[in-house]
Amino acid sequence: MDTLDSEVLDAAGRWAKADQRFALFTVVRTWGSSPRPPGAWMALRHDGVVHGSVSGGCIEEDLIARIQAGEFRSGNPFTLKYGVKAEEAWRFGLPCGGTLELLVEPEPDARLLAQLAAHLKAGQLVQRQVRVGNPEVQIQLLQGHEGFQWDGTTLRTPHGPGWRLLLIGAGQISRFIAPMALALGYQVLVCDPRVEYTDEWDIPGTQLISGMPDDAVLAINPDPHCAIVALTHDPKLDDMALLEALKSKAFYVGALGSLTNNTKRKARLKEHFDMTDDELGRLYGPVGLPIGSRTPPEIAVSIMAEMTAVKNKLMVSS
């Protein structure tokens, strides 16, 4: 799930406290072309106020009209399909004969939604389970990443920081990367032994890790849902992190520097630390997509864009 979780849960919490009726809608399956992926969800209040999204807007318009007309007032979770017929697909903006299936929760348990929100605020990874025809919703903590699951009857959706990003260096570029990564659903960890940088680190929602970069990499035990980016531009620090990161299971390892510096870095790691060509081939450097970036925010955009492309390719192939 993406960071619309917080928006949806915040809205649900406010509406529940005000004793306002609302329903939840989750995309559970798509065929053909669809604007939003499985797992996308939306909270819809009885008067048509929306938070989150399940399509490009046309399906939302229909759902708004239906809830304003008195539908989705009560009952157990059920499924709803759009775009089954060609003319319906065209009407609801689902090109190429696309079809969208939603799981509708007419009466979501506000207490459990508040519990889910508390877990997310604590930075915990949680799975929410909903069954068609069953009003009982289950929430459980996850020890590792589990993806979206739908078998036609039971929906299991992960919520919280299913992806992690370790930034080596608390400098200016990291200050721009961190909020972007948080918005994309990453748990953001920052390691920098230089107190002149960490003493002023104040990005909400991030976590500072003490110690040296290589120890920080080992401490987080990188898995295939972890990215590591070295940004100090100091070989004594960046190289330490890369020595461990390139041997780990991290799906993305990048390092700041020019093409020349990156070539020297690889030669240095190979000559002095016996790193293999396969390990060095995992390094994204110069880090980021080549968009002509010069300023720290532009560099941050290029890094997050490249990381997102790698992550999405990984998700499609897994």
| pLDDT band of 315, cuts 50, 70, 90 | low
Residue 174 DSSP one-character state: H
Look at 1 and 138; give whichever has higher pLDDT.
Answer: 138
3-state secondary structure of 150: strand
Residue 179 makes CB contacts below 8 A (sequence gap 6+) with 203
- Confidence at residue 89, expressed as pLDDT on a 0 to 100 scale: 57
- Confidence at residue 1, expressed as pLDDT on a 0 to 100 scale: 43
3-state secondary structure of 1: coil
Mean pLDDT score across all residues of the chain? 90
Q: Which fold has domain 163-317?
A: Rossmann fold (3.40.50)
Separation of alpha carbons 34 and 102, rounded Å? 12
Report the predicted TM-score, pTM, of the whole model to 2 decimal places.
0.68
Supply 166's token pair. 């370790």
- Confidence at residue 2, expressed as pLDDT on a 0 to 100 scale: 46
Given a contact cutoff of 8 angstroms between Cβ atoms, the answer to whether 84 and 58 are in contact is no
Which part of the chain has CATH 3.40.50.720?
163-317
- Confidence at residue 262, expressed as pLDDT on a 0 to 100 scale: 92
% of the chain at pLDDT higher than 90: 73
Given a contact cutoff of 8 angstroms between Cβ atoms, the answer to whether 7 and 159 are in contact is no
* Average pLDDT of span 223-250: 94
- Confidence at residue 98, expressed as pLDDT on a 0 to 100 scale: 66
Residue 193 makes CB contacts below 8 A (sequence gap 6+) with 210, 211, 212, 213, 237
pLDDT by residue (tens digit) across 63-90? 999 999 999 999 999 999 987 555 665 5
- Confidence at residue 97, expressed as pLDDT on a 0 to 100 scale: 53
Look at 107 and 86; give whichever has higher pLDDT.
Answer: 107
pLDDT by residue (tens digit) across 148-196? 899 999 999 998 877 899 999 999 999 999 999 998 889 899 999 999 9
| pLDDT band of 318, cuts 50, 70, 90 | very low
Bridge partner residues of 158 (DSSP): 127
Given a contact cutoff of 8 angstroms between Cβ atoms, the answer to whether 74 and 61 are in contact is no
